[in-house]
Amino acid sequence: MSENTSQDPILTPRLFTPGPTPIPKNVALAQMDSSVYHRTEDFFKIFRQTAALLSPIMGTKEIPIILTTSGTGAMEAAMQNLTATGDSVLTMVGGEFGERWDKMARAYGCQVKTLKVAHGQAFTLEDLDKALTDNKDIKVVFLQANETSTGVFYPIKDYCAAIRRLAPEALIVVDAISALGAHEIQMDAWGIDCVLGGSQKGFGIPPGLAFVALSKRAWLSLSNRERFYFDLTYEAKEQKTGSTAWTPAISLIYGLNVALKTMHERGLPQIIAQHKRQAMAVRAGVMAMGLELLSKDNASHALTAIKIPRSVGAKRVAGILKDRYQVTYARGQGVLAEDVIRFGHLGFVDRFDILAGLAALEFALHDAGHKLTLGQGLGAAMKILAS
């Protein structure tokens, strides 16, 4: 059976990756109408308003810094500004993005202690307690809110409480890049010192902007490491006025401004509740198709990592989805490449999108020879999505 011959010529391409996410029409239009010079009061006004609209999504009263870079650039900005060579840091690694913290901290000459957990699981408080008790000199803890490679949302409120109790001086840096807009993140209330976000995840705009919010404590603890493009002190001084140190991705700022206004109109609690319900529907649908989830507890609202039996083939299913149905799922990363596909349902995704994504998966599994009765997954999901 050839797997890419029967493509329907009028299929609409559909994106179900945990970044980039679908871009709403009003956001796309706002980005097109942006032949603006960034050293003008018109732009400063939009920029300041955009940064202020971001704060509540990040759970803080602080005004975040908006950087023109991808999410990893925000991670690097945090690493450069909050650590010095030789500092002891703790990295919490449960997948590819945790690994990124670990590699980056090593590249920057930190003394790295690594706390690992199996893919699909969350760190236990006992393990975190032990890591902090065994390493009294930790200056910064780096973790994710949502490990995008495994679809796990960590109970970071509990982790922060443990870190505050056992290492009161340590800074807590949370990469919430795939969590913002899908999960509640209370930077101020939970005692987080640095929260990171990225444009192409929950905000429904293209890649190119990343966000760094720092606590007052973090601003007072900046390291004396040499840095240039990501010098947050310089950037903050400029951004107070609505200017930026370097040329910003102007069109994306206009898109972000509109996306954030839409999010505030809808209400953050409502958006999070919708993500939660849609994630539940995806999990129910997938399980009703006879598949297993990588993460049984602590499942993310932003994406679902789905195990595909080797006999069916994760790569094969992802290939059929794309080639025959124009549906893009994310493949598994690293060691999970052969076993997992990831259904991203983050950002401006509604319940009919969820059903389209599940229907395509059901078709693709059926085509790949996985035994199921068409509709069994969709039916289970629809029961959860029925209002």
Enumerate binding residues for ligand PLP (CB under 6 A). Answer: 19, 70-72, 97, 144, 146, 148, 175, 177-178, 198, 207
Residue 11: Cβ within 10 Å count: 12
Burial class (CB in 10 A: 0-12, 13-18, 19+), 158: middle
- Beta carbon of residue 234, minimum distance to ligand PLP (angstroms, whole number): 22
8 A C-beta contact, residue 112 and residue 86: no
- Beta carbon of residue 354, minimum distance to ligand PLP (angstroms, whole number): 20
For residues 320 and 224, give the distance between their C-alpha atoms in angstroms, rounded to a whole number. Answer: 51
8 A C-beta contact, residue 221 and residue 171: yes
For residues 93 and 116, give the distance between their C-alpha atoms in angstroms, rounded to a whole number. Answer: 5
Place of tokens 């991705």: 249
8 A C-beta contact, residue 60 and residue 195: yes
8 A C-beta contact, residue 230 and residue 83: no
Q: Which is nearer to ligand PLP, 70 or 304 (CB)?
A: 70
- Beta carbon of residue 315, minimum distance to ligand PLP (angstroms, whole number): 21
8 A C-beta contact, residue 259 and residue 27: yes
Q: Which is nearer to ligand PLP, 344 or 377 (CB)?
A: 344
- Beta carbon of residue 383, minimum distance to ligand PLP (angstroms, whole number): 30
Q: Please identify the residue of the shown chain whose CB is closest to the bound ligand PLP.
A: 71
Q: Which is nearer to ligand PLP, 144 or 278 (CB)?
A: 144
Q: Which is nearer to ligand PLP, 60 or 199 (CB)?
A: 199
Report cis status (omega within 30 of 0) of the bond before 20.
yes
For residues 278 and 350, give the distance between their C-alpha atoms in angstroms, rounded to a whole number. Answer: 8
- Beta carbon of residue 362, minimum distance to ligand PLP (angstroms, whole number): 26
Q: Which is nearer to ligand PLP, 183 or 324 (CB)?
A: 183
Q: Which is nearer to ligand PLP, 38 or 201 (CB)?
A: 201
- Beta carbon of residue 256, minimum distance to ligand PLP (angstroms, whole number): 15
For residues 339 and 315, give the distance between their C-alpha atoms in angstroms, rounded to a whole number. Answer: 8
- Beta carbon of residue 43, minimum distance to ligand PLP (angstroms, whole number): 24
For residues 48 and 191, give the distance between their C-alpha atoms in angstroms, rounded to a whole number. Answer: 25
Q: Which is nearer to ligand PLP, 57 or 355 (CB)?
A: 57
Place of tokens 């922060």: 160
